Copies of this chain bind each other. A is one copy, B any other.
Amino acid sequence: MPNSFGKNFTITTWGESHGPAVGVVVDGCPPNLPLTAEEIQVELDRRRPGQSDIVTPRKEEDRVEILSGIFEGRTTGTSISMLVRNADQRPGAYDEMKEKFRPSHADYTYQTKFGLRDHRGGGRSSARETIGRVAAGAIARKILAQAGVEFRAFVTQIHDITVPAGALDNFPALAEIEANAVRCPHPATAAAMIERIKAVRSVGDSVGGVIECRVRGVPAGLGEPVFDRLEADLGKAMLSLPATKGFEIGSGFAGTRLKGSEHNDAFISRDGAVHTATNRSGGVQGGISNGEELVFRVAFKPTATILQPQRTVDVYGAETELAARGRHDPCVLPRAVPIVEAMAALVIIDHWMRQHAQCGVFKF
């Protein structure tokens, strides 16, 4: 099921950029949860186009409609269907793409795989697909919030602008992240990032960067020993997002330059509980959460859509040139922040339910 994710808490997404709508079906949601469309909308608004002057101006209200699985304001335990109508479609803006493959986009691979493609706005490869993920993630987040779990994704790097080392070692407040358009909780760096995004946009170019995500309140014991390690499922979740090129947890790639004696997280006893003195493990050991903060980072490439002319090939195999039109984000990271959080929440709730299924029912 290539359009589904999760084992016990499962989502299935559908929809194209310029089709009638996009949506998601959530399966396995716990019953009796009070839930309104407005709660879903809060998260959708964080990923909405047009929310600031550094994102795509596509005009979409992205109003969610809940079609099933809710009765008298509560989840019933049956499948929850949610739908968002696409409003601002300019199919004519994509005519050139019908015959030319956009570099570093999915045009060529979709065409080769399926033998045809919906070229309008990237079709299924559009980031509008992530609306379903964010809507489903909003449900997972609400449930986990009641269990004391908090998610904080934020931008730590845009192009070559990075937050100063050590400046963001604490769990940031949501307000600090939402305080600026780029969603970097370090105001001075955020200002520079915003300038950089505007600068590249003004010349029809684009930039990428890194999002860090921290999760607080995850109990020890989530994740499976072998293939379904928590970091493996988090990694898959993040690498399934458009434009991602890398994932690391805890010390990540930098940690490979330490010796074992420098890298190991000593166990300590604090307030009667076992903790680690440092957190180079990123909250996961042997594939299983250890009760410390989950800390991981995701690399996003610069947006493939740029307005400068580019060398490419058309559907007949002839070399040609293409200059993109259509609205797009010069940098995907600000809007990707709630998407990263949504995917993290979907992984955590699924593993929580799995853990309970195996270890929480039958006790000996």
**How many A residues touch B, CB cutoff 8 Å?**
164
A299 contacts partner chain B, Cβ-Cβ < 8 Å: yes
In whole angstroms, what is the CA distance A224 to B249 when docked?
Answer: 25
Among B113, B246, B301, contact of A246 (Cβ-Cβ < 8 Å): B246
Give the residue name and chain of the B residue nearest to A273 (CB): B317
**Interface pair B260/A302, CB less than 8 Å apart:** yes
A43 within 8 A of B: no
Measured between alpha carbons, how far is A313 from B233 in the docked complex, in Å?
29
A216 within 8 A of B: no
Give the CA-CA distance A71 to B79 in the complex, in Å.
Answer: 27
A93 interface hit (Cβ, 8 Å): no
CB distance from A261 to the nearest CB of B (A): 5
Q: Are A123 and B76 in contact (CB under 8 A)?
A: yes
CB <8 Å contact, A245 and B252: yes
Whether A364 and B116, one on each chain, are in contact in the complex, defined by CB atoms closer than 8 angstroms, is no
Measured between C-beta atoms, what is the minimum distance from A36 to chain B in Å? 14
Q: Which residues of B contact A226 (CB under 8 A)?
A: 2-3, 13, 79, 124, 129, 240
Q: Do B78 and A253 touch across chains, with their CB atoms under 8 A apart?
A: no
Q: Which residues of chain B have C-beta atoms less than 8 A from A106's C-beta? A: 225, 285-288
Task: Give the distance in Å from the alpha carbon of A108 to the alpha carbon of B125 in the complex.
Answer: 41
B362, A3: Cβ atoms closer than 8 Å: no
A14 touches B (CB below 8 Å) = yes
User: Does A210 make an interface contact (CB < 8 A)?
Assistant: yes
Bound: A255/B210 CA distance, A: 10
Which of the candidate stretches A21-29, A163-171, A180-188 sits at the interface with the other chain? A21-29
Residues of B within 8 A of A12 (CB): 1, 4, 12, 25, 27, 79
Q: Is the CB of B260 within 8 A of A225?
A: no
A34 within 8 A of B: yes
- The answer to whether B67 touches A23 (Cβ under 8 A) is yes
Interface residues as binary, A242-281 with B (CB distance below 8 Å gives 1, 0 otherwise) = 1011111111110111111111111111001110110011
Q: Which residues of chain B are within 8 angstroms of A306 by Cβ–Cβ distance?
A: 260-261, 264
Q: Tell me if B245 and A104 are in contact (CB < 8 A).
A: no
A87 at the interface (CB under 8 A from B): no
On chain B, the residues within 8 Å of A352 by CB distance are 361-362
Q: Identify the stretch in A46-54, A56-64, A200-208 within 8 Å (CB) of chain B at 4 or more residues.
A: A200-208
Q: Contact at B256–A209, with CB atoms within 8 Å? A: yes
Contact pattern, A 126-161, Cβ under 8 Å of B = 1, otherwise 0: 000100000000000001001100000000010110
Decide if A263 touches B118 in the complex (CB within 8 Å): no
Say yes or no: B31 contacts A359, CB within 8 Å: yes
Which 10 A-B residue pairings sit nearest by Cβ, starting from the closest? A106-B286, A2-B224, A246-B248, A206-B260, A109-B288, A236-B236, A260-B302, A77-B114, A113-B221, A357-B357
